[in-house]
Amino acid sequence: MVGAVLQRWRVPEEEHADTLSLVKAVGYDMAYMFAYSMREKTHAHRNYVDDVPEKVKQRRLTELIEAFRESTGQCYGN
């Protein structure tokens, strides 16, 4: 997930870069990727503020999808 709620809300750029490196190194066959969005009546909705700008979420998602496609192409010779 891009911009996910874990123990803290904001995901630093270094952690996003680590995620991209992991995706490239592992070479996943399939992935469900989406930008995080707050859902009502959840723990996150009651306790956190969605302070990651939409533009940042979309950029990170695009980078993640590109990394996934690159790694998948390497695995299947595309």
pLDDT band at 77 (very low <50, low <70, confident <90, very high): low
- In terms of Cα–Cα distance, which of 29, 35, 47, 45 is closest to 11? 35
Residue 2 has pLDDT above 80, yes or no: no
pLDDT tens digits, 6-50: 445 556 899 999 999 999 999 898 999 988 888 888 888 888 888
H or E stretch at 51: none
Contact 78, 62 (CB under 8 A): no
Please name the amino acid found at residue 71: S
CA distance 37 to 24: 25
> Which is higher by pLDDT, 63 or 77?
63
Give residue 49's pLDDT.
Answer: 85
User: Residue ranges of the domains in the chain?
Assistant: 53-78
pLDDT band at 64 (very low <50, low <70, confident <90, very high): very high
